[in-house]
Amino acid sequence: MLQHRCTIQTYVATTTDGAGKPSGTWTETYTGVPCKLQGAGKGIENVVRVETVNADFVLFLQASTTISERDRVSSVLTREGVSVYGDETFHVISVRPVGVHHKVAYLELVR
């Protein structure tokens, strides 16, 4: 089922700007993470428990994968190393368990 591989990025704040907002860089925290990326349908809202999520893509992952709403996903590749959706980066907007063995991350394309 998890035929793709991706990179999970975490934001690392290194300082704050004049307004007190953190500034920093995105770090590749995990690479080669087994996953499956599929479109969620443009403008389609996915009802997750009692929360409505407006996502561009859905990313299926192993339940043990560490990922949160503050992360990004990049470099989604097939096992052969072919890009699944160009060289795009995605913001994680929600993460939910799916059964015992998997979780799903709802993504929006970084624009």
Reported as a single tens digit per residue, the pLDDT across 5-29 is: 999 999 998 888 888 888 899 999 9
> Each residue of 82-110: pLDDT tens digit?
999 888 999 999 999 988 999 999 999 99
Exposed e or buried b per residue across 1-17, where buried means at least 16 C-beta atoms within 10 angstroms of its C-beta: ebebbbbbbbeeeeeee
Counting every residue, how long is the chain?
111
Read off the pLDDT of residues 67-79 as tens digits, 9 standing for 90 and up.
999 999 999 999 9
Mean pLDDT value of segment 46-70: 82
Residue type, 83: S
pLDDT at 17: 84
- Residue ranges of domains in the chain: 4-47+66-109
